[in-house]
Structure 1
Amino acid sequence: MYGKFLALPLIARRALTAGALFFVACVAARLPDTPLCNWIFGLSLVGSFWASGVMVPGIKLALYVFKVALRVKASTW
């Protein structure tokens, strides 16, 4: 099964990984509110964002906004 997974193109592997991690996040959201379930939810959601390719542009945008906000805050009027 692992060999078949590795035989898939990179895009398909990333899509399957993102889908599986998002499914785990949805299941963990329905579990009781415990620290372990919260960690599972958070890590699988971050992993699905990373696997789908949304995380890197989001981090770049957040860092740009943070840099602009610091520049505005530190500037003298």
Structure 2
Amino acid sequence: MFKKFMSLSPIGRRAVLALALFGIMVIDLLFPKCNFTVFLFLASGLGWVWAIGLMRPVLLFLIFLLKTVFRYKTAPW
């Protein structure tokens, strides 16, 4: 099975990972809330955002936002 997975194109592997991680997120919503399920939801959500290709733009936007806020907050009157 691993050989079949590795023989896929890089886009196909990311699509399979995104689908699996999204499925984990959805199934995790059915379980009662505890520390483990919250961590699992967070981890699979971050992995899903990475797999669909949004992690880099989100991080770049957050860095830009933090720079802007720090520049505004530390500017002299």
Report the TM-score, using the length of structure 2 for normalisation: 0.94
Match of 1:28 in 2: 28
- Tell me the number of residue pairs that the alignment of Structure 1 and Structure 2 aligns: 77
Structure 1 vs Structure 2: percent identity of aligned residues?
A: 32
Match of 1:13 in 2: 13
Match of 1:69 in 2: 69
Report the TM-score, using the length of structure 1 for normalisation: 0.94
* 3-state secondary structure, aligned to 1:31: coil
Q: What are the ranges of 5 or more consecutive residues in structure 2 without an aligned counterpart?
A: none
Structure 1: 4+ residue segments shifted above 3 A: none
d(CA) in 2 for partners of 1:26, 1:63: 29
For the aligned residues, what is the CA RMSD?
0.8
Q: What are the ranges of 5 or more consecutive residues in structure 1 without an aligned counterpart?
A: none
